[in-house]
Structure 1
Amino acid sequence: MTALSFETFPPKSLDASFHLWDTVQALSPLEPRFISVTYGAGGSTQALTQEAAQTLRKTSGLPVAAHLTCTGQSKSDVLRTASRFAASGISDIVALRGDAENGGAFTPHPEGYANSVELIEALAKMGKFNIRVGAYPDSHPDAASMAQNIDWLKAKIDAGASEAITQFFFEADSFLRFRDACADAGITAPITPGILPVANWKRAKAFADRCGTPVDVVTATAFDRAEREDRAELFALTHCADLCDTLVSEGVDALHFYTLNRPDLTLKVCRALGLVPAAAIRNVA
């Protein structure tokens, strides 16, 4: 059975809080390994992330992985946040360097961690967390080459991370080539593909541009045509299900979905893959 996990983002309003709760409730029957809660660029949602992660851990009964970055914070601030997570029962951390809030170049805090490797080493020394990290099948925008991109991932694993979760991608070959290159580089930790069900193609394309995720002409043309022909949701479902099915057929045993707090398309993809929610059997009168 393919293992599942889901990413959410912290709510910024009361209505959004209810929507997040509804999202987690809709996905929980799929028995996820964990639900992750993101950090905003520049640490902009730090308090919201803490509150959402702690509340979900307390009320949902599911394992919760809190994102933690070193952007805009001193080392003591970061470790204080980590200690709060541990005290609330959260033992899973997704440790990331983080991005500048204004979209500019990353600049370390004068009293902070210089990069994700330093952050991971500090969290590992605490001895309280299972640490996951990011990985980039199409290379991180700041990496000079794919080789350097893989070297950074190996350094993060060597620093104490147990698993990597990738940035989203549109073609299965992007992940499979990356997985093979990581294995050749001596990386033995699991690398879980990050999957983005495309509920809105225009937004997904803009997101891909910001992240440096390439979109080939065939894929872009197909999404554009589907929108013009008013069958965008059907095509998005088919594309995502085919992508996941290819990955599973190539030996991938875990998938991580970026839900954007909209569970419907993710649920449909999982059903298409045969990963249906667990349900109690009821007698029908």
Structure 2
Amino acid sequence: DKRGFSFEVLPPLKGNGTAALFRTIDALSEFGPRFINITTHHSEYVYKELENGLLTRQRVRRRPGTVAIAGAIQNKYDIPVIPHIICSGATKEDIEYELLDLQFLGISNILVLRGDKAKEDRQFTPTENGHAHATDLLKQVNQFNDGFFFDGTPIKHPGDKFCCGVACYPEK
């Protein structure tokens, strides 16, 4: 039988530990999941009032740690993980560092997505020096797989190649 079970988890909110997440995985692991997806959430902007009454805009990431959570799950449970890599809120360099960290952890399966638009935006706006589409992000991953950093510099000792799932959709 080729059918299998998988599930998707969110990284804990900033400041919370992994205990609740691990309790959830403990409960679901009895079903023998073939893999676990780990979502990624981009930064968002919040406005905070200063003492003088003016507002200041601050960038906040409420759910950091996708790569670290993927490594922790794979290490603790020996279940394959598929972290999401997204365009939203990430520069090409940010993505490159995520790929390097995943390689160091021995994680080679990823899901490439554009990600959601920022809450305050009407449409998706790519980060400066980032990607507008999942297909562009996939090109960067493929270039990395071919042994080159995003700026074209050769990677001296390329690691294992990434196996990518991709979710794309047309704009309305």
**Runs of 4+ in structure 1 over 3 Å off:** 13-16, 41-47
**TM-score, with length taken from structure 1:** 0.44
Asked if structure 2 preserves the Cα contact closer than 8 Å seen for 1:9 and 1:37, the reply is yes
Query: Relative to structure 1, is the Cα distance of residues 143 and 15 closer, same or farther in structure 2, using a 3 angstrom cutoff?
Result: closer
Counterpart of 2:164? Answer: 131
Structure 1 position 65, deviation (Å): 0.7
The answer to whether 1:7 aligns with 2:36 is no
Asked if structure 2 preserves the Cα contact closer than 8 Å seen for 1:42 and 1:100, the reply is no
Identity %: 29
Counterpart of 1:81? Answer: 98
**TM-score, with length taken from structure 2:** 0.71
Asked if structure 2 preserves the Cα contact closer than 8 Å seen for 1:71 and 1:109, the reply is yes
Asked if structure 2 preserves the Cα contact closer than 8 Å seen for 1:108 and 1:114, the reply is yes
- Which blocks of at least 5 consecutive residues in structure 2 are unaligned? 45-60, 146-160
Asked if structure 2 preserves the Cα contact closer than 8 Å seen for 1:10 and 1:45, the reply is no
Structure 1 position 74, deviation (Å): 1.4
Residues 43-83 of structure 1, C-alpha deviation per residue, up to 9 Å, x if partnerless? 83563212211111111111011111111221111111111
Which of 50, 56, 64 aligns to 1:47? It is 64
- Give me the whole-angstrom Cα distance separating, in 2, the residues matched to 1:131 and 1:56: 19
Counterpart of 1:35? Answer: 36
- Which blocks of at least 5 consecutive residues in structure 1 are unaligned? 145-285
The answer to whether 1:112 aligns with 2:130 is yes
Compare the two structures and name the one with the higher helix fraction: 1
Counterpart of 1:95? Answer: 112
Residues 220-261 of structure 1, C-alpha deviation per residue, up to 9 Å, x if partnerless? xxxxxxxxxxxxxxxxxxxxxxxxxxxxxxxxxxxxxxxxxx
Residues 141-167 of structure 1, C-alpha deviation per residue, up to 9 Å, x if partnerless? x623xxxxxxxxxxxxxxxxxxxxxxx
Compare the two structures and name the one with the higher strand fraction: 2
- Give me the whole-angstrom Cα distance separating, in 1, the residues matched to 2:68 and 2:92: 20
- Give me the whole-angstrom Cα distance separating, in 1, the residues matched to 2:87 and 2:113: 7
> Alpha carbon RMSD of aligned pairs, Å?
2.3
Structure 1 position 24, deviation (Å): 1.3
1:142-157 to 2 correspondences below 5 Å: 143-144=171-172
Amino acid at match of 2:135: V
| Pairs aligned (count) | 139
SS in 1 for 2:167: strand
- Give me the whole-angstrom Cα distance separating, in 2, the residues matched to 1:65 and 1:45: 20
